[in-house]
Amino acid sequence: MPKSVFSRKRSSTSDDAILKAHAVGEVGSGEPALVLLHGFGADQAIWRRLTHRFAETRRVILYDQMGCGASDLAHYDPERYRTLEGYADDLVEILDALRLRDATVVAHSVGGMIALLASLRTDRIARLAMIGASPRYLNDGAYEGGFELQDVEDFLGMMELDFQGWAKTLAPQVMDQPDRPELVEELVYSFSRANADLSRRFAKATFMSDHRARLGECALPTLLLQTRVDAVVPLTAARFLADHMPNARLEILDARGHYPQLSAPDAVFAAVETFLAETTG
């Protein structure tokens, strides 16, 4: 029996309604299918530089996390999305609705932990590729997550007081591409067009999360991609992730910033393709 029976599926919601609620889209064909999962502050458009390249040889599925992009906010449940578990349930439901098997999930940022949690409750996921993922963003004793609690509280406070100002301030820091202003502007647009209240809730669920204790439960082949310099996820957190997942491999990209799928798509594409060649028949 699939592990997905343990997910907290929304009652009386059809498969078609689930797919519509998350604006699920597909391009390409070929198995195993590839699911591209965005992180905080973005939607499925964040993959635009890679989607059609992957779709040349395989079926590619994209969707918007609830509260982001074109997702249907009528389905937003504050209690369900108080933690990342609710977002993981969404991924399981989407995989079930599409009847996917042997799927690869390529997940960015907090999408990495969402994908990991989902993989622990379904047998539809066969491998993971995480880009800029972290099991915990807060420093905790010897563990270096990159942020102090006050940093996150200030971050959340700025989102509440001046959401547009927050977007314009954060984007250049996390993109870290001073010579490519067009990428910064793209990220500002991605941040600022989101629902301010729901973005803040997603941010809280993200930056207050701690999934270090779950890492050892995931034995799936996992590729961890990390840039040399990332304002969101330090190398210490990426190495912790690699050290505590039984079947994970860390690859450091010769790139900067938290969004290499935009700033270094060739490097991301090559790394994921190599990983897929190694782990699929």
Catalytic residue chosen out of the listed positions 22, 38, 211, 258: 258
**DSSP string of 9-40?**
PPTT--HHHHHHHTT-EEE---SS-EEEE--T
Catalytic site includes residue 102: no
Whole-angstrom distance between the N-terminal and C-terminal Cα of the chain?
Answer: 24
Among 89, 90, 96, 230, which one carries the catalytic annotation?
A: 230
Q: Which residue has the tokens 């807060």?
A: 138
At 43, list the tokens. Answer: 């939607």
Q: Active site includes 230?
A: yes
- State the alpha helices, DSSP H only, in the chain: 15-21, 51-54, 84-98, 111-119, 149-161, 163-175, 181-192, 196-207, 235-244, 260-263, 265-279
- For 244-247, the CB contacts below 8 A with 24+ separation are 244/135, 244/212, 244/215, 244/216, 245/215, 245/216, 245/218, 246/216, 246/218, 246/219, 247/219, 247/220, 247/221, 247/222
Asked if omega into 2 is within 30° of 0 (cis), the reply is no
SS3 (DSSP) at 54: helix
Active-site option among 109, 190, 209, 263: 109
Coil vs helix vs strand at 4 = helix
- Residue 74 tokens read as 């009528």
Active site residue 244: no
Mind telling me the catalytic residues?
109, 230, 258
